[in-house]
Amino acid sequence: MAYQHTFHRHKTREVKVGSLVVGGDNPVWVQSMTTPDTYDLEATVAQIHRLEEAGCEIVRVTVPKPADAAVLSEIKRRIRLPLICDIHFDYKMALAALDHPVDKIRINPGNIGGYDRYRQVIRKAKAKGLPMRIGVNAGSLEREMAEKYGFPCPPAMVDSALRYIEIAESEGYHELIVSLKSSDVLTAVEAYRLYAKQANYPTHIGITEAGKAPYAVTKSACGLAPILLDGIGDTIRISLLGDPVPEIAAAFDILQATQRRVRKPELIACPTCGRLEIDLEGIIAQLEKRLAGKTTAVKVSVLGCVVNGPGEAREADLGIAAGKGKGVIFKRGDIIRHVLEKDMVSALVEEIEIWEKEEAAKGTLKTGGASIQNESTRAQERTIAMAEVEGRMRLPVLG
Ligand code: SF4
């Protein structure tokens, strides 16, 4: 019998953010943040459109000045993604943002000017029926916590988040999403793990100030993988220096690799070595092209010789074990075809299409998700096909 990996998702409440629902069994939504001055309407909207085109599902803009708050209604009118306003230091900017048709605000309670101001923001968010992210950050913990713990350690961050949750609950407000970010991977992982044992508000996860790609992507993956594999995380942002558009692909790749959200075929290819018996790079390049745009969660292995080829191919949904100028196609562990090297790509694509039809007939390939509500935007439509694997991971045996 096939071995099944265990996976338990952190059980969280559902919080509605615009047309999406964050938490519960819903997909881990991918979000990003704009970089122009928010009041520069044209630049901000143009960047949001580029982010949406890349697959971004929720977008955040900073609101440090009244001029930024003043354009929020117009930004919202011109975009389709749920819009979050990011507020630091000045609680009045949070109150101002809430006068616009935004979908959520994010504040850092540690720098908002005390509990009373925090309560004022909560009361207004509650009155408007809008959710809020409590963004606890290791670099800006409130003085009380910093003094109590002497250092911005995970327990201090979680203690801070729990304190702010308690205050929100005392106001009868529960539309919360929590983040516990640090630029230190170990601190972030421990903080999220500690939090998940004590609270059930959904989490926004990320490694803050990760720096410049490619190291920043690797660092984010190192920090987010343990969190995601522990079933924690309901929305994700990869923080990269510069243009935010590459953040989207990085986030989806991390979700794909951790199998928290599989939305494209997984290609398994060996690194090649002196034993290689086919043009593996050429075959993988052609396969990537032919499979571009497919959202099927199918695992396909293509290995360059008989050392690991048959073993990997047996464990994948579909696979090729290559020999000299030819290969054998496996499907769910059984040999189904012998092909020449020149026909490998077409044969594999054909088999993938047959596999998709069979899975669809069995009902394993769903084209919609009960948790996705009233969707009409392109980004949301794209997510429909992806939603089926979220929270219901299908994990084949790995060798
Ligand atoms: S599968 Fe074969 S060709 Fe590929 S790395 Fe392993 S030994 Fe080398």
Q: What is the 3-state secondary structure (H, E, C) of 360-397?
A: HHHCCCCCCCCCCCCCCCHHHHHHHHHHCCCCCCCCCC
What are the DSSP calls for 5-33, one per residue?
A: ----PPP---EEETTEEESTTS--EEEEE
Both tokens assigned to 331:
């499907």
The answer, yes or no, to whether the previous bond of 226 is cis (omega within 30 of 0) is no
Ligand 1 atom with least separation from CA of 276: 3
Burial of 77 (0-12, 13-18, 19+ CB in 10 A): exposed
- Please state, in angstroms and as integers, the Cα–Cα distance from residue 338 to each residue in 310, 325, 342, following that order: 13, 11, 12
What is the reported pLDDT for 365? 73
Give the chain's domain count: 2
Dist. CA 241 → ligand 1 center (Å): 37
Query: Taking a C-beta distance cutoff of 8 angstroms, is the pair 132, 176 a contact?
Result: yes
Q: Report residue 142's pLDDT band, with 50, 70 and 90 as the boundaries.
A: confident
Query: Do 270 and 241 lie in a common domain?
Result: no
Residues 200 and 144 in one domain: yes
Task: Let me know whether 105 and 246 are in one domain.
Answer: yes
Asked which of 257, 285, 314 is the last residue of a domain, the reply is: 257
pLDDT value for 387: 41
Measured between alpha carbons, how far is 21 from 372 in angstroms, rounded to an integer? 7
Residues 272, 252 within the same domain: no
Is 385 contained in some domain?
no
- Tell me, yes or no, whether 242 and 309 share the same domain: no
Name all contacts of 149-153 with Cβ < 8 Å and 24+ positions apart.
Answer: 152/182, 152/187, 153/187
Looking at residue 249, which CATH number applies to its domain? 3.20.20.20
Q: Name the residue of 279, 280, 303, 320 whose CB sits within 8 Å of the most ligand 1 atoms, as the mutation to test its pocket.
A: 303
- Domain boundary, last residue among 234, 257, 280: 257
| Substitution site in 267, 275, 277, 315 for ligand 1 pocket (most atoms within 8 Å of beta carbon) | 275
Closest CA to 216 of 191, 234, 243, 193: 243
For ligand 1, what atom is nearest to the CA of residue 305? 2
Calculate how far, in angstroms, residue 217's C-alpha sits from the geometric centre of ligand 1.
Answer: 27
pLDDT tens for 143-160 read 888 788 888 899 999 999
CA 388/CA 297 separation, integer angstroms? 9
Q: CA-CA distances (angstroms) from residue 142 to 108, 185, 208, 265? A: 9, 21, 18, 45
The alpha carbon of 272 and the centre of ligand 1 are apart by a number of angstroms equal to: 5
**Burial group, residue 154, by CB count within 10 angstroms (0-12, 13-18, 19+):** buried
5 lies in some domain: no
Nearest alpha carbon, ligand 1 atom 3: 276
The atom number, within ligand 1, closest to the CA of 309 reads 1
Least confident of 12-21, 30-39, 375-384: 375-384
27 lies in which domain range? 15-257
Distance 15 CA to ligand 1 centre (A): 47
Q: Would you state the torsion angle of the CA atoms of residues 9, 15, 20, 24, taken in this order, to the nearest 10 degrees?
A: 20
Query: What residue's CA is closest to ligand 1, atom 5?
Result: 272
Residue among 270, 279, 280, 301 to mutate when testing ligand 1 (max atoms within 8 A of CB): 270
144 lies in the same domain as 27: yes
Considering 257, 278, 304, which residue would you say is the last residue of a domain?
257
Distance of CA 354 to the CA centre of its chain: 29
Q: Are residues 276 and 166 in the same domain?
A: no
Judge if 356 and 241 occupy the same domain: no
Looking at residue 262, what is its pLDDT? 92
Same domain, 238 and 270: no
In a domain, 334, yes or no: yes
Q: Which residues line ligand 1 (CB under 6 A)?
A: 270-273, 275-276, 303-305, 307-309
**How much is the average pLDDT of 343-363?**
92
pLDDT in tens, 307-317: 777 777 778 89
Residues 149 and 130 in one domain: yes
Residues above pLDDT 70, as percent of the chain: 91
Whether 238 maps to a domain, the answer reads: yes
Assess whether 274 and 233 both reside in one domain: no
pLDDT tens digits, residue range 85-136?
999 999 999 999 999 999 999 999 888 888 999 999 999 999 999 999 999 9
Taking each helix axis from N to C end, the angle separating 245-257 and 41-54, rounded to the nearest 10 degrees, works out to 30
Report how far Cα 110 is from the mean position of its chain's Cα atoms: 25
CATH no. for residue 299?
3.30.413.10
Q: Does any domain span residue 372?
A: no
74 and 27 in a common domain:
yes
